[in-house]
Amino acid sequence: MKKIVIAEDHTILREGLKALLSQHPDLEIAGEARDGLEAVRVISDLKPDLALMDLSMPKMNGIDAIREVRRCCPGTKILVLTVHKNEEYVVASLKAGANGYLLKESTHQELIQAVTHVLDGKPYLSPGISDTVISGYLASRQHEMVSPLDLLSQREREVLKLVAEGYKSKEIAEYLFISIKTVEKHRDNIMKKLDLHSSSALTSFAIEHGMVESDKGLS
């Protein structure tokens, strides 16, 4: 039995994935997560064979969660399941350590094929991703793209995402198990590094760079 953790913030889709994958006798749904932080904790605890990871999740986005999982659980394979077709997301996911990238528009058959490939140690890219995206990824390995996000540390990206989602410093401190003073220090450093001067500017930046969705970031 191969153990799988599903990290997806939409309950209906998460339940649907559980139902589909549970039909296969050699696959076991060992756990699930509704946001990026929970995903890292659950995967760290269960050490599954495969993590099925959404990219647009609350509290910590999928790409940062992939980085954390790759650090704590190098033996866990990671298959991204997302709506994002943009080259930027594909490249970022693979660079973070994902083993496969599947679009949510894929069929049940494609889902099982992707899961099987990744569990067998083979990379998988959804047929819905164009040759242009694949070529762009290969080119980026030679010419690394510089993003303003590269200026921020992993913890600063986590704080920025939570700020953009509307969480207060006290709530952020509780989520990340750090002090309020440390949260404020990270916030100040983020503003200085990005040359931004308000919470609304931080939120706009996070939305522009795909860290949060606009409806979540402004709620």
For the sheet with 124-125, list strands across it: 27-33, 2-7, 50-53, 77-82, 100-103, 124-125
- Of 189 and 90, the structure prediction assigns the larger pLDDT to 189
Return the domain boundaries, the chain.
2-140, 148-217
Ramachandran quadrant class, 176 (left: phi over 0; alpha: psi -120 to 50; beta: rest): alpha
Domain 148-217, CATH 1.10.10.10 — does that match? yes
Task: Render pLDDT for 133-142 as a digit per residue (tens, 0 to 9).
Answer: 666 656 665 5
Domain covering 2-140 in this structure, CATH number: 3.40.50.2300
CA 211 vs CA 39, 58, 83, 132, 192: distances in Å: 16, 9, 14, 23, 19
pLDDT reported for residue 146: 63
- Per-residue pLDDT, 91: 84
**Do residues 62 and 70 make contact, with C-beta atoms less than 8 angstroms apart?**
no
Backbone angles phi, psi at 178, to 5 degrees: -130, 170
The CA-CA-CA angle for residues 166, 12, 100, to 5°, reads 85
**Tens digit of each residue's pLDDT (9 = 90 or more) over 204-219:** 999 988 888 765 433 3
Share of the chain above pLDDT 90, in %: 68
Of the pLDDT bands very low, low, confident and very high (cuts 50, 70, 90), residue 201 is very high
- Of the candidates 53, 50, 54, 13, the one whose C-alpha atom is nearest the C-alpha of residue 28 is 50
Q: Which residue has the higher pLDDT, 128 or 62?
A: 62
Poorest-pLDDT segment among 10-24, 52-66, 78-92, 140-154: 140-154
pTM: predicted TM-score of the whole model, two decimal places: 0.69
Six-digit token pair at 158? 């986590």
Choose among 61, 62, 30: nearest CA to 45: 30
pLDDT band at 184 (very low <50, low <70, confident <90, very high): very high
